[in-house]
Chain A
């Protein structure tokens, strides 16, 4: 191979490397989410209530070392949080969220998205964070018009009175 031909070939190899770099730096396009759908995202971090304290019996107290004989036994862990999300009357999400942390004393968390068709929807969110066995402590129902690719967020904050829709 003569010199000019070699230079040309060298240029071509470098060009090929650059095309490879330039092409994969932006292509092929990736569909992150269907363009004709909307997203309802349920996201919150909320600590459930504490289980009831239990008054120790004299026998239980006697079994403990003298310096640990507190009359009340209040567990460190939190209760799980039950959450439900309905869309137009049908169930969309239902979960019993365990408390976080190594000792189960952290908040329960959820961060989950649902693709829904755009249009008018009735969304009902319910949450139970106490020790009750039926019913819910918080409930909110909203009817909204959801646009394609809209990111509708359902958050929960006790201070704000429960569910918040962004």
Chain B
């Protein structure tokens, strides 16, 4: 499983690196796959409402009304019909890519199992929604879908009369059937929307809509596709004839031809096995997660910053329990915590300037507490030589830092760069541990822990508490987010940063120690 995940991650990282050269981070489609799937659903809903006004139910009326959209009213209803269809296909494409990418990033186990499992339910609902839609057109493809789907349902073996017998002869189907299908085609997507809402329940500020520019570009691309390659009906359904060669929508119906090889029961079994495997993935094997963050009530005043910054809704504010004169205290739900440490970065008490005996933050990771963080920083600074000394702070998931450590560059590796309280930058520069600080990690917009990069940037820019003090010279800080494959870009950027670093006035007065053997990377493991 680990090999499969790493192989996929390597593949995604390469494509991401390629697209990073073309798109600005906010527009990069691979960083917004879930939101793009959502966006496709909105297009499907709006276009579906529009075409519904032109749709008639009935064995003859259904086909004719849909056909009419593409001929008499091609310039509006026809375009909407094409949008309805292609956005549905787009949803499957983005959903599949989203699933594979989240798997490759190991974001499906541990605290994230719930999001993964609800995602599997979404897959089924998307397919059922799409398949019931194809049924309504009542062309040859609809006939194929109707017969194959009913054979699949009959394979379950719980219905007395085979459903497939409804499609035996032209006379065996009546108009009420279309009313039923229409009801299902409206009801199931509404259930889908509800499950998608549940899917996002364990995420703080989930990204439901892609960035506006990307959304506009994607919508324009869908409209262009609808105009260049309009969705059309195939020949009208005729139950008196067997279907020969038909155009198939492989996104929704790609598994149906397998029934020719393994039979409807075999296909049903295969789909069931795939579903069970997907559902069981979070425990194959379960994630060995570091301990969840803990709250040290003595230092927590219930300021709520960690609650706002936690990307997974793992920190809640509850009434005070220890008698201290504050209204609330933070409480961590270990089942939701992914141990990213972003809460420590948000805690105003997490400062390395504290006295050694009280080097405890209001909220911290037990295995990487505030004192450990300061020890890591001090260790990274040990023996740094020269007048362009750098401390690079990165994360476990982004660009590799191993190649950076030398006599002039010390390295600190954290679970997430967002774990770094901004006061540590002040500490490094004001205590002359280094002449410059480099903050790096995942690619921008692709933080493993969703908000680590955004919060780090905002804290330095002063847009989010706790912010970096004004006295800290910003020209001594380099923020670069090159992603997993950006070692060379990072090395080049650090080289340029070092060359441009202004002389440290205070540093000139300090006698620096001679270079000593030192660890290449100070990390938390």
Interface residues of A (CB under 8 A from B): 1, 6, 9-10, 13-15, 17-18, 20-22, 24-35, 37-39, 41, 43, 45, 100-101, 106-107, 109, 111, 113, 149-151, 153, 155, 166
User: B21: CB under 8 A from chain A?
Assistant: yes
Q: When A10-B217, A14-B218, A109-B162 are in contact, do A25 and B29 touch as well, CB less than 8 Å?
A: no
Taking a contact as CB atoms under 8 Å apart, the answer to whether B165 and A43 are in contact is: yes
Q: Is the interface of A mostly helix, strand, loop or mixed?
A: mixed
Interface residues on B, range: 35 or more
Chain A residues contacting B257 (CB-CB under 8 Å) are 30
Taking a contact as CB atoms under 8 Å apart, the answer to whether B251 and A111 are in contact is: no
User: B221: CB under 8 A from chain A?
Assistant: yes
Closest to A155 in B: B168
Q: When A24-B251, A111-B162 are in contact, do A32 and B144 touch as well, CB less than 8 Å?
A: yes
Interface stretch among B82-90, B276-284, B315-323, B376-384? B82-90
Taking a contact as CB atoms under 8 Å apart, the answer to whether B164 and A39 are in contact is: no
29 A–B pairs (Cβ distance < 8 Å), ordered by A:
A10-B23, A10-B217, A17-B29, A17-B221, A18-B225, A21-B86, A21-B225, A22-B225, A24-B249, A24-B250, A25-B85, A25-B86, A25-B89, A25-B250, A29-B247, A30-B246, A32-B243, A32-B245, A33-B243, A33-B244, A35-B244, A35-B245, A43-B164, A45-B165, A101-B160, A106-B160, A109-B162, A111-B154, A149-B241
Taking a contact as CB atoms under 8 Å apart, the answer to whether B245 and A6 are in contact is: no
Distance of A111 Cα from B56 Cα, bound (Å): 31
Chain B residues contacting A35 (CB-CB under 8 Å) are 244-245
Q: When A32-B243, A151-B242 are in contact, do A22 and B86 touch as well, CB less than 8 Å?
A: yes
Closest to B94 in A: A17
Chain A residues contacting B249 (CB-CB under 8 Å) are 24-26
Closest to B244 in A: A35
Q: Which of A14, A18, A30, A38 contacts B245 (CB 8 A)?
A: A30
Closest to A8 in B: B22
Distance of A151 Cα from B218 Cα, bound (Å): 44
Q: Which of A17, A24, A45, A149 contacts B161 (CB 8 A)?
A: A45
Q: Which of B165, B169, B240 contacts A111 (CB 8 A)?
A: B165
Distance of A150 Cα from B238 Cα, bound (Å): 10
Distance of A109 Cα from B221 Cα, bound (Å): 49
User: B19: CB under 8 A from chain A?
Assistant: yes
Taking a contact as CB atoms under 8 Å apart, the answer to whether B168 and A14 are in contact is: no
Q: When A9-B22, A24-B250, A111-B165 are in contact, do A32 and B242 touch as well, CB less than 8 Å?
A: yes
Q: When A17-B221, A30-B257 are in contact, do A45 and B160 touch as well, CB less than 8 Å?
A: yes
Taking a contact as CB atoms under 8 Å apart, the answer to whether A20 and B169 are in contact is: no
Closest 4 CB pairs of A and B: A35-B244, A9-B22, A26-B247, A18-B225
Closest to A12 in B: B22
Taking a contact as CB atoms under 8 Å apart, the answer to whether B168 and A39 are in contact is: no
User: B151: CB under 8 A from chain A?
Assistant: yes
Q: When A21-B90, A43-B168, A155-B168 are in contact, do A32 and B244 touch as well, CB less than 8 Å?
A: yes
Chain A residues contacting B245 (CB-CB under 8 Å) are 29-32, 35
Taking a contact as CB atoms under 8 Å apart, the answer to whether A149 and B221 are in contact is: no
Chain B residues contacting A155 (CB-CB under 8 Å) are 168
Closest to B254 in A: A24
Distance of A31 Cα from B144 Cα, bound (Å): 11
Chain B residues contacting A29 (CB-CB under 8 Å) are 245-248
Chain A residues contacting B90 (CB-CB under 8 Å) are 17, 21
Shortest CB distance B182–A (Å): 22
User: B239: CB under 8 A from chain A?
Assistant: yes
Chain B residues contacting A26 (CB-CB under 8 Å) are 247-249
User: B27: CB under 8 A from chain A?
Assistant: yes
Distance of A77 Cα from B341 Cα, bound (Å): 65
User: B93: CB under 8 A from chain A?
Assistant: yes
User: B113: CB under 8 A from chain A?
Assistant: no
User: B147-164: which residues lie under 8 A (CB-CB) from chain A?
Assistant: 151, 154, 157, 160-162, 164
Shortest CB distance A153–B (Å): 5
Chain B residues contacting A33 (CB-CB under 8 Å) are 242-244
Taking a contact as CB atoms under 8 Å apart, the answer to whether B246 and A25 are in contact is: no
Shortest CB distance A10–B (Å): 6
Taking a contact as CB atoms under 8 Å apart, the answer to whether B169 and A107 are in contact is: no
Chain B residues contacting A10 (CB-CB under 8 Å) are 22-23, 27, 217
